Chains A and B, each alone.
Chain A
């Protein structure tokens, strides 16, 4: 036996695991083909849903019976908002109030707006009464005519959507009313006042609302479907290695080849390390493959190309630590489970749960608070959070060390549990 024997021996173990993996066609399909299909399908699906929401135009039936300026301005504003697809007639005829209600009630339109006749005139009269009353020093406000704008809403519309649309619609119509009333007051005051006043430079928008993405310590930016799905499904694929890895450990234990290996100059730790190395290489290939699909193949499907951030070392550290976490978990399952059936069922279910709470299927930013808290216990969440930091904020190695560290610890803890469990319970040596 020469000095290089331990390395040579280890090379044979790796050669064995490489050959076994190479011949496991079903396992390879599960590890490579499934995630490729999933990442493309899920991204396309989420992208189209995203577009459907953002590009959607809400069908609106507008009946403007006002012959004055106010009705015309409301009509013009709604049309130019880009939110609505505006129709004004049904079969070449302007609908009545009842017909408008019927159209919306039958869900052909989500919204219906009815601007009654003489709306502009009625508002002008109201303003005139108000101005006269103000200038005559009367304390009591004059009686005003009721000017009613009627909005019908499809009752099947979801509450959240209804709230969003109604607030937009109210905001726009009130803005128009305010501008018109201000203008009308100015005109009527100027008719009776010796000193003309002007509100031309006055804007109703005195309070500016600055909408920004909420960040907690620089985090919580919202990823695009591509930025979310590529790392999410890469992690899912890497964790799916658990099925193949634990299966191979159990098969070797059941067919006796594992016992034979232990009667040879080969320790249990060496046996597991060999598997860990081979499957780490597989996991890294999975990452590279899915990321390349994100960069080069996605644009062929009309999706954005994945931008990998500015720190390749951070990506490598995250990929490696995710692989170690997944492999440690697979080794633990392979040792604790008694049968292949147990390991495959438990492995698959636990990975699906980890993926679900970890934000692989549904991004965590749209989850409820309790679900988000649960997600903090998923190794896939740790990995995903690290990758999103790199993609969205150009994070470097230092920034992803907490996520990488916890995945590494998880993997090593699983490995230790596997070795301890095996020695104490199974081998009893």
Chain B
């Protein structure tokens, strides 16, 4: 079980201590190999908890998680090298330079020094950051930080790249660039799990999407198929609002 998909969760449940409602209530998610998969959900739907569980940062109450066929309950040792996480927060050391950050993160994956330096050069070039390689992160613009944040998650050429809202708070130019690079990376064979509030983005770049609410998947499929299935909805946004409602979902 679980070998057909890059990521598969089966009936995943998680309730935080002191909460009466489960955050994940039987989440079953199937992310095919090589897909650029969009996970779309309102605030508080449980997507961050789901990502944290997949990355080994949280434990779950019941259910199963498989990453390329490896059962998460057997430990993270075999799984960690397969995954690359680009968190929503800029998870970099602000007082270090872009190069120093990348050298440390790459080094922790055990990449040999010559190869690591080559990868850093390539990725900085790809994301148009070569000129700023020795600048401190705390002097970067928001868009530049986002791009370094992405590079840090893909230095070890992971087979699965998980991005949590990678385009939040960046200008249009940076956003377009990030999305273009994601398509390129996906075409090179990397499975991408893309979490976003920007539904247009997901419609534009994702090969498959899943809508999630109240801790479980409410529908899944390629964007075009979903638009067909949910007529008269003519966009991802209208499907999203139809399925999840229009009320505010602010959570703490």
Interface residues of A (CB under 8 A from B): 1-2, 5, 8-9, 11-13, 15-16, 19-20, 23-24, 252, 255-257, 259-266, 427-429
Contact = CB atoms under 8 A, between A and B. Distances in A.
Interface string B128-167: 0000000000000000000000001100000000000000
A427 B108 contact: no
A263 B108 contact: no
A259 to B, nearest CB: 6
Interface in B80-99: 80-81, 83, 85, 87-96
A46 to B, nearest CB: 38
A262 B94 contact: no
Interface stretch (B53-61, B173-181, B198-206): B53-61
B221 interface: no
Given A428-B58, A428-B59, A263 B110 contact: no
A15 B100 CA distance: 9
B49 to A, nearest CB: 10
Interface string B91-122: 11111100010011101111000000000000
Contact of A19 (B58, B88, B100, B110): B100
**B contact patch SS:** loop
**A contact patch SS:** helix
Given A19-B95, A20-B93, A259-B57, 17 more contacts: A8-B110, A9-B107, A12-B107, A13-B108, A15-B104, A16-B93, A20-B95, A23-B95, A252-B93, A255-B89, A256-B88, A256-B89, A257-B93, A259-B52, A262-B56, A264-B108, A429-B58
A97 to B, nearest CB: 77
A163 B83 CA distance: 79
21 contacts: A1-B110, A9-B110, A11-B107, A13-B104, A15-B107, A16-B93, A19-B96, A20-B93, A23-B95, A255-B90, A255-B94, A256-B89, A259-B52, A259-B57, A264-B109, A265-B81, A427-B57, A428-B59, A429-B57, A429-B58, A429-B59
Given A24-B95, A255-B90, A256-B87, A261 B80 contact: no
Interface residues of B, number: 31
A262 B104 contact: no
Contacts of B81: 265
A13 to B, nearest CB: 7
A8 to B, nearest CB: 7
Contacts of A260: 85, 87, 91, 105, 152-153
A256 B105 CA distance: 13
Given A256-B89, A260-B91, A265 B80 contact: yes
A351 B138 CA distance: 31
B250 to A, nearest CB: 21
A284 to B, nearest CB: 24
A9 B87 CA distance: 22
Contacts of A252: 93
Interface centre among A5, A19, A264 (most CB of B within 10 A): A264
Contacts of A8: 107, 110
Contacts of A9: 107-108, 110
B104 A429 contact: no
Interface centre among B55, B57, B81, B152 (most CB of A within 10 A): B57
B96 A20 contact: yes
Contacts of B104: 12-13, 15-16
A20 B96 CA distance: 7
Given A9-B110, A260-B152, A264-B109, A427 B90 contact: no
Interface string B9-41: 000000000000000000000000000000000
B110 A266 contact: no
Interface centre among A8, A263, A428, A429 (most CB of B within 10 A): A263
